[in-house]
């Protein structure tokens, strides 16, 4: 499932074609994705002006005039791509419609935004903009890891009483919004913290080091266009390439990259998810 860097990469790719533009025509080709679309979804989108495109955790929100926002979740296999972009950043001709093109937004500036989702685990909803933070999907999210409220003191306080493994604690969206399996593995490796350590038993000093490391990993992944392992594509249709920079994720049985370390990357399963780590470097 796309994590924060992938969703932010898509948001940035869509913004030049959507922000400040009008949805000239919305086409909705099925009644639902993960859940049913709102009533009269296509009609309610057509003619609306997009004032801002923003991200909250792993969700994209397109703020529309009239105090409504289009909430978008890519799910496991969802893609949002741009064609016919008047700025010349993407393919000029609109491609032929594909089987899983479920929502198509033709913008007034000539761009077309296509939401394609073969597995249909993605979602779209229309919500009140001024109440977006109280939406059930957003209400309990923790701070953004690239925002000012995510600080060393916050993370130390949030984890000090946690009896769960640090890997599980960092994946808890109520503690940090947007982190997923890939980037938690990478951050813990850089911090030399074992993913199995109980969060509440790690010193405050070591927990504090995670904050700049998490930010560094996310920023590097965004700069690389995210990670493409299976389905993810940027808004341009191109692959992300941060997967070529993984230190531990998906590197089972390969040598540890830490200079002087003779360890090997191992895979364990935590809460049904693969965790990659070096048992020699991470304590």
Chain position carrying tokens 């916050």: 154
Cα distances (Å, whole numbers) of residue 212 to 10, 57, 209, 264: 24, 18, 6, 26
Among residues 183, 132, 145, the alpha carbon closest in space to that of 57 is found at: 145
What is the distance between the alpha carbons of residues 229 and 110, in angstroms, rounded to a whole number?
31
Cα distances (Å, whole numbers) of residue 204 to 58, 157, 184, 210, 232: 28, 9, 18, 10, 36
SS3 205: helix
Secondary-structure percent of the chain, ordered helix, strand, coil, rounded to 5: 30, 25, 50
Q: Name the residues annotated as catalytic.
A: 2-3, 58, 273
């Amino acid at each position: 499932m796309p994590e924060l860097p992938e969703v932010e990469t898509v948001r940035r790719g869509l913004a030049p074609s959507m922000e400040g533009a009008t949805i000239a025509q919305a086409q909705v080709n099925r009644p639902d994705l993960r859940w049913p679309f709102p009533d009269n979804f296509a009609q309610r989108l057509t003619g609306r002006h997009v004032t801002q495109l923003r991200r909250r955790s792993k969700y994209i929100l397109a703020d529309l005039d009239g105090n409504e926002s289009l909430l978008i979740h890519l799910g496991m296999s969802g893609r949002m791509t741009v064609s016919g972009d008047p700025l010349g950043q993407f393919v000029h001709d609109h491609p032929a419609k594909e089987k899983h093109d479920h929502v198509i937004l033709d913008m007034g500036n000539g761009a077309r935004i296509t939401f394609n989702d073969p597995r249909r685990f993605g979602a779209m909803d229309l919500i009140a903009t001024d109440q977006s933070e109280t939406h059930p999907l957003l209400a309990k999210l923790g701070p953004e890891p690239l925002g000012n409220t995510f600080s060393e003191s916050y993370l130390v306080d949030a984890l000090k009483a946690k009896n769960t493994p640090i890997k599980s604690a960092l994946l808890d969206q109520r503690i940090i919004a947007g982190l997923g399996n890939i980037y938690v593995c990478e951050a813990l490796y850089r911090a030399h913290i074992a993913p199995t350590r109980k969060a509440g038993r790690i010193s405050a000093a070591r927990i504090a080091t995670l904050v700049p490391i998490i930010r560094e990993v996310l920023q590097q992944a965004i700069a690389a266009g995210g990670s493409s392992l299976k389905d993810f594509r940027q808004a341009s249709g191109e692959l992300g390439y941060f997967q070529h920079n993984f230190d531990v994720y998906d590197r089972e049985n390969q040598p540890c990259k830490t200079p002087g370390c003779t360890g090997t990357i191992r895979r364990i399963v935590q809460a049904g998810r693969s965790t990659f780590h070096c048992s020699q470097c991470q304590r």
